[in-house]
Structure 1
Amino acid sequence: MRIVYALGTSTGGVGTHVRALARDMAAAGHEVGVIGPAATDEHFGFSLLPGVRFACLELGTGIGVGDAALVRRQRSLLRSFDAEVVHAHGFRAGLITLLTLRTLRTRPRFVLSLHNRASGQGLRAKVETRVETMLARGADLVLGASTDLVDRAKDLGADDARFLPAAAPQVEPVSAEAAAAARARLAAEYGFDEGAVIVLAVGRVARQKNYPMLVRALGRLREAGDAESALVVLIAGAADDAVLAEVRTQYEQLGPASAIPALHFLGARDDIAELAATADVYVLTSVWEARALVLQEALIAGKAIVATATGGSPELVGDAGILVADDDDRALAEAVAELASDPARRAELGARARARAAQLPDEREVADKLVSLYTELLSAQVG
């Protein structure tokens, strides 16, 4: 089977998912191409994967006059790949792919994966809805990384929309000794006691992650008294500078640092597995997530999880964590306070997390499911 994946700029879950698909499809003997920006290839190394051809297409983030050139470039690439299936990931890659396919006399089957929901307001929201509708109705198959995305595609007129998860990469276990050493290094670097309860959040410091909710919760923990004085909160991830400055200012305005749990921004890290192993509580405060890879990694690591009940997080976590309403800092503070003071409860949720993780499909299983979907589409086309 000849398969081409198209994606835009990515440094996180989408790129990780597409890399796994390209790797596993090529390993299974399929002819695989990937089309995307050079920076995305540099980050994920598509062009280094055995049996995978990468071609550069500099997809920007906004619709503009340059889109005509992108369509011409992609049309040439698809002809050179002689693709039977083109699988675009995300709105931007999906739009350019749809426009490209409309220029082809003989077109491959078009699969669209949705990993995020549209979040614009006002005029932008209207434009996004029109693009969503075009994509839902123009794709032969729409795949949603969470069931709410599948429902959205169906509401907009998709003939065929189904759920397909993005699986977390395999995580190498971190030994107790390595976790203890990592905790000691963190404590020394950031000046906290090694016995502190570590609350970890992993994710880019950006609007969608809603770290202001976490900061407000820290203010409420101050109100709870001395019981939470041994808490330390670590946020690991690259940052939008403006958002980071706002969150820092918000935290500083809570009052004297000695009266509230310490908060440290670790920046982009390549040791997330070790960080997760050191954590006592894992927190996700996002406004919305489809199927967060970081939540899957927390489940695999057996962490006590507190997450906002938005998007696909409730169906992913189930009863293996504490779910709180979007932007409910009071509920977040109460959940963190409970877990900070109750090691047995943390251990219970950690055991549930491991059990839940054992039920999740891995990358190979997701790729196998996708092969069956591609085969179904091509068979229907022949019929």
Structure 2
Amino acid sequence: MRIVYVLGTSTGGVGTHVRALARDVAAAGHELGVIGPASTDEHFGFSSLPGVRFAALDMGTGIGVRDAALILRLRELIAGFDADIVHAHGFRAGFVALLATRSLRARPQFIISLHNRASGRSLRGRVEAGIETLLAKGADLTLGASTDLVARAQDLGARDARFLPAAAPEVHEIPADAAAATRAGLAEEFGFGPEAVLVLAVGRVAPQKNYPLLVRALGHLGESSGETSRTPELVFLIAGAADQNVLDEVRRQYENLAATSAVPALHFLGPRDDIAELNAAADLYVLTSVWEARALVLQEALICGQAIIATSTGGTTELVGDAGILVADDDDMGLAAAIGELAADPARRAELAARARARGAQLPDEREVAKELVGIYTELMPSQVG
């Protein structure tokens, strides 16, 4: 089969997922093309994958009059690949790819993968809802990275909607001495003691990740820190790139709290390529997002055997199950209580870590997801062989 992936700008989960699919589907003997921004290729290296052809197309983020030229160019690229299947990832890529494929003389099968829900409000919200409906009704198949996305597509009239997980990248086990070295380096950099409880959050500092919830929880922890001698020193680390405006606002929120009470320490690490080591060095893992489909960072935390506290939104509840503590995405007091409970109870942390590791061992890996997807492609193209 000849398959083309279309995606927009990405530096995180969507690009990671598509790269793994491109690698493994091409390795299975299919002709694979990827169309997306040059910056996305620079980040993920699609053009360096064996058997994968990449074509650069900057899609931008907004909808406007320039989209007509963008759609025509995408149409030319898809026709040049002579694609049997066009598989777009995300709303923006899906919108332009659907319009581009509709006007092709030999129309390929069109698949849309949804990795996020529409979150716009007012006029933007109405536009996004219209695009959601267009994609649901126009795609030959809609794939959702969480079951709520599948249900949403079905409600909007999708002719065929199914769940397909985005699998976590392979996580290598970190030796105890390497984890200890990472922790020692962090302790030296940030000045915390050997008995401190290290709490890790991984994810871009952006509105979806809801770090103001974490900061408010830190305020409650600061208020209760003197109530019991069982409360250990808490140190919070956030690893990930940042939207500068959001980062500045979160820092201001934290500094205002720190100016009036003894809140736990909070440090921003920026982008890191040693997430597995950070997971191994930390005592707790926290995810505060307002919504997630199937967060790759959360899957990594499960595989690493972290004691997890996460917000019960989107696909997180079904992903974590009983392998962590779940709180509402607006419950800062509940989040603080969960952190305080686990910080003071190493045995409970160890229990949740064991559950997380067992849950992580059950998750499908990238090759298993790619194999399932090739089966779906074959189903859509029954006359194709191999």
Which category of TM-score, normalised to the shorter sequence, fits these structures?
over 0.9
| 1:320 corresponding residue in structure 2 | 323
| 1:109 corresponding residue in structure 2 | 109
TM-fit CA distance, 1:11: 0.3
Counterpart of 1:242 (choices 235, 240, 245) is 245
TM-fit CA distance, 1:223: 1.6
Counterpart of 2:160 in structure 1: which amino acid? D
Map residues 281-300 of structure 1 onto 2, 5 A cutoff.
281-300=284-303
State the alpha-carbon separation in 1 of the partners of residues 257 and 244 from structure 2: 21
Contact kept, 8 Å, 1:47 with 1:54, in 2: the verdict is yes
State the alpha-carbon separation in 2 of the partners of residues 336 and 378 from structure 1: 50
| 2:367 corresponding residue in structure 1 | 364
1:286-319 CA deviation, whole Å, 9 max, x = no partner? 0000000000000000000000000000000000
Structure 1 stretches of 4+ with a deviation exceeding 3 A read 226-229, 255-258
2:241 is equivalent to residue 263 of structure 1: no
Map residues 1-383 of structure 1 onto 2, 5 A cutoff.
1-226=1-226, 227-256=230-259, 259-379=262-382
Alignment partner of 1:379: what SS?
A: coil
1:356-377 CA deviation, whole Å, 9 max, x = no partner? 0111111011001101111111
Q: CA RMSD in A?
A: 1.3
Contact kept, 8 Å, 1:46 with 1:52, in 2: the verdict is yes
TM-fit CA distance, 1:65: 1.3
State the alpha-carbon separation in 1 of the partners of residues 290 and 38 from structure 2: 30
State the alpha-carbon separation in 2 of the partners of residues 168 and 345 from structure 1: 26
State the alpha-carbon separation in 2 of the partners of residues 310 and 55 from structure 1: 36
State the alpha-carbon separation in 2 of the partners of residues 38 and 190 from structure 1: 37
Contact kept, 8 Å, 2:195 with 2:232, in 1: the verdict is no
State the alpha-carbon separation in 2 of the partners of residues 381 and 288 from structure 1: 38
Alignment partner of 2:65: what SS?
A: coil
Contact kept, 8 Å, 2:197 with 2:232, in 1: the verdict is no
TM-fit CA distance, 1:225: 2.2
**Cα 1:119/1:380, change in 2 over 3 Å:** farther
1:314-341 CA deviation, whole Å, 9 max, x = no partner? 0000000000011100110000001000
State the alpha-carbon separation in 2 of the partners of residues 262 and 22 from structure 1: 41
TM-fit CA distance, 1:284: 0.3
Structure 1 range deviating more: 131-140 or 247-256: 247-256
Give aligned-pair identity as a percent: 74
State the alpha-carbon separation in 2 of the partners of residues 322 and 162 from structure 1: 28
Counterpart of 2:151 in structure 1: which amino acid? D
Structure 1 range deviating more: 72-81 or 332-341: 72-81
TM-score by length of 1: 0.98
State the alpha-carbon separation in 2 of the partners of residues 18 and 212 from structure 1: 30
TM-fit CA distance, 1:255: 3.3
TM-fit CA distance, 1:193: 1.5
Structure 1 range deviating more: 15-24 or 255-264: 255-264
TM-score by length of 2: 0.97
Alignment partner of 2:86: what SS?
A: strand
TM-fit CA distance, 1:211: 0.4
Q: Can you give the 5+ residue segments of structure 2 that lack an aligned partner in the other structure? A: none
**Cα 1:53/1:257, change in 2 over 3 Å:** farther
State the alpha-carbon separation in 1 of the partners of residues 69 and 194 from structure 2: 56
State the alpha-carbon separation in 1 of the partners of residues 258 and 100 from structure 2: 55
Counterpart of 2:241 in structure 1: which amino acid? A
State the alpha-carbon separation in 2 of the partners of residues 101 and 244 from structure 1: 39
1:220-249 CA deviation, whole Å, 9 max, x = no partner? 001212444500000001111111111111
State the alpha-carbon separation in 1 of the partners of residues 289 and 225 from structure 2: 27
State the alpha-carbon separation in 2 of the partners of residues 358 and 367 from structure 1: 18
Alignment partner of 1:338: what SS?
A: helix
TM-fit CA distance, 1:258: 7.5
TM-fit CA distance, 1:185: 0.3
Contact kept, 8 Å, 1:183 with 1:194, in 2: the verdict is no
State the alpha-carbon separation in 1 of the partners of residues 376 and 271 from structure 2: 36
State the alpha-carbon separation in 2 of the partners of residues 177 and 225 from structure 1: 31
